[in-house]
Amino acid sequence: MKITRRNFLTATGAAALAAGLPARLWSLGTIEAGNIRIDSLSDGNLTLPGNFIFGPAPQDELAELLKTHGIDTIPERVTPPCNVTLLRDGSRTVLFDTGAGPAFQATAGELPDALDELGVAPEDVTHVVFTHGHPDHLWGVLDDFDEPVFYEAQHMMGRVEFDYWSDPDTVNTIGESRATFAVGAKRRLETMGADAFVLFEGESEVLPGILAIPTFGHSPGHYAFALAAGGTQVMVVGDALTNGHMAFERPDWPSGSDQDQAAGAATRVKLLDRIVADDMTLIGYHLDRPGIGKAEKLSEGRFRFTAL
């Protein structure tokens, strides 16, 4: 297995550089194994209140943990990257999540440009597999005109997740801070149409060499995916692990980003145990770019993330 990191300068970035403005760099990591190539592509980043993630954690212990990572104070704002995974094997081009699209946050929705840098056109994508239905993962399924972006692709989502976001009552039960998530997801799923989706359940091979693993908690039907890449395995963790410090070193702590905080914590511990036991490389949607790395078990329920 070969892992590389690269930066691409976009045409827009080149023009900015010529004008004396800061250039935009696409941050990419690539895993190559046999005929399989897995790219981690940038959809930009989010801007969130720090307490959206850190609020429920024990604050004194959290402050000490963050200091070991060079973070002197618990941040009021965080800007997690959005890393979308693309798998190509010569016959399939599989995209895991579609990014935020044009209507969520101005700093996100850049996946089309990142794909263009790789020479991948929207019609080249054969399958879109969703980890879950939060805005930064689902809303990029439609363009500015509410047309499907990846119009030749088969779209796939866990049945629990699809049913949750399709339910008209979700907007009334999800809580005020996430009500727009429910409205936006329902509209996009309805616009795509139920017949555009293949729904799956349980732990199952959704495509040859792609195993869906239930990782409920961050959202009601969140999934991670184990990819067979030559003689190794790669785990696309989605938002089951959302940062390289607290989520690994204290996965048992509650995270405010999880809809079900107790389930999210239990899922993190179980998933990390599996990743370490199987010596998997992992790709995290919000881990520091390029989002690719390894987990090391320090003690029972405690881990360390090392970026590759």
Enumerate residues 6+ apart whose C-beta is below 8 A from 282.
Answer: 234, 235, 236, 237, 241, 275, 292, 293, 294, 295
What digits encode the pLDDT tens for the residues 153-181? Answer: 999 999 999 999 999 999 999 999 999 99
Average pLDDT for residues 104-132, to the nearest whole number?
97
pLDDT at 180: 98
More confident residue, 26 or 89: 89
H or E stretch covering 262: helix 261-277
Domain spans of the chain? 2-307
Query: In this model, does residue 15 exceed pLDDT 60?
Result: no
Average pLDDT score over residue span 248-277: 98
pTM value > 0.85? yes
For 60-80, write each residue's pLDDT tens digit. 999 999 999 999 999 999 999
Superfamily of domain 2-307: Ribonuclease Z/Hydroxyacylglutathione hydrolase-like (3.60.15.10)
Q: What is the pLDDT of residue 7?
A: 57
**125 near 41, Cβ under 8 Å?**
no
Position 20 pLDDT exceeds 70 = no
- Which residue type sits at 55? G
Mean pLDDT of all residues in the chain? Answer: 93
